[in-house]
Amino acid sequence: MARSGPPLRLFQNWQAKLAATPMILTALVVFIGCSLWTVVYSFTNSRLLPRLEFVGLAQYERLWSTPRWQVSIENLAVYGVLSLILTLAIGFLLAVLLDQKIRFEDGFRTIILFPYALSFIVTGVVWQWILNPDFGLQHIVRGMGFSGFTFDPLNDPNLVILALLAAGIWQGAGLTTVILLAGLRGIDEDVWKAARVDGIPTWKTYIFIVLPMMKPVFATCVVLISAGIIKLYDLVVALTRGGPGIASEVPAKYVYDYMFGNQNLGQGFAASTMMLAAVLAIIIPFALFQLGRKRRV
């Protein structure tokens, strides 16, 4: 990096800077500005309309003593961890299988990616039918002779999160597969040749050589999947509506219900601020890490 540039660095490359102004303004006003507004109002007792009557941390105290919020956080954690691991694992496995120069690859790719073309609402309704005990999976298995078979996750508070997970992965794994497949295709053919010459088995090549080379692709997938996890809302609304009881509630639904249904903006803002904090807690270390790496290079 040259430190002895012309004195007015601000005007260096000014056309590009001018072109970026709308984007910068949007980021400042819409993203940062509105987020700050929300954070400020989360310290007020706003009900249906925003009001600047500060009540300190009262909304947060109430939030963290609400069982429904605790259940929501727990659900999101379970769903998040399992969904991230399983989506990556299944996506990678499918990508590797597709990578075997099989016939009709285009066809398989389309089929695998197809669920992603459906909205979460449709996905939720489809899985509601699949998991309905009277004409879904349970009915089919019982029809095959296993009359004692019981599988009703939508009405079992302990299993309902698995139903969400199944539907979520079914919908999202296709995209991961396709992105990872593109990553696999980007690996230099010479790497494979070298591995073969050295007599390394294919599976070892995938895990110990190709996998580490695909870090950036995995990073993309992780970001996409994580964003999907944090905003998890519509699938829950379509599949379970948070039930049975409050067993499948998630934070985003809490925010929506309190802001609009229960007319308590302060409480909704406090909950959404906590969600923002969670996102920042993941993004900031990640960004610092990336920044640090760039500096070193």
Residues that bind another protein (CB under 8 A): 47-49, 66-68, 71, 133, 152, 155, 157, 241-247, 257-258, 260-264, 267
Quick one: 107 or 245, whose CB is closer to another protein?
245
Distance CA 165, CA 77 (A): 12
Distance CA 20, CA 15 (A): 9
Quick one: 154 or 232, whose CB is closer to another protein?
154
Quick one: 33 or 245, whose CB is closer to another protein?
245
Q: What is the dihedral of CA 256, 261, 266, 271, to 10 degrees?
A: -30
Quick one: 112 or 154, whose CB is closer to another protein?
154
Instruction: Output the smallest distance, CB 160 to another protein, in A.
Output: 9
Contact between residue 170 and residue 115 where contact means Cβ atoms under 8 Å apart: yes
Quick one: 59 or 87, whose CB is closer to another protein?
59
Instruction: Output the smallest distance, CB 296 to another protein, in A.
Output: 49
Quick one: 96 or 164, whose CB is closer to another protein?
164
Tell me if the bond preceding 251 is cis, omega within 30° of 0. no
Token pair recorded at residue 283? 């993004």
H helices of the chain, in order, are: 14-26, 34-41, 58-64, 67-98, 105-113, 120-131, 137-143, 160-185, 189-197, 202-204, 211-213, 215-230, 234-239, 251-256, 265-296
Instruction: Output the smallest distance, CB 53 to another protein, in A.
Output: 12
Instruction: Output the smallest distance, CB 134 to another protein, in A.
Output: 10
Instruction: Output the smallest distance, CB 104 to another protein, in A.
Output: 39
Distance CA 192, CA 64 (A): 53
Instruction: Output the smallest distance, CB 109 to another protein, in A.
Output: 32
Token pair recorded at residue 147? 């009359």
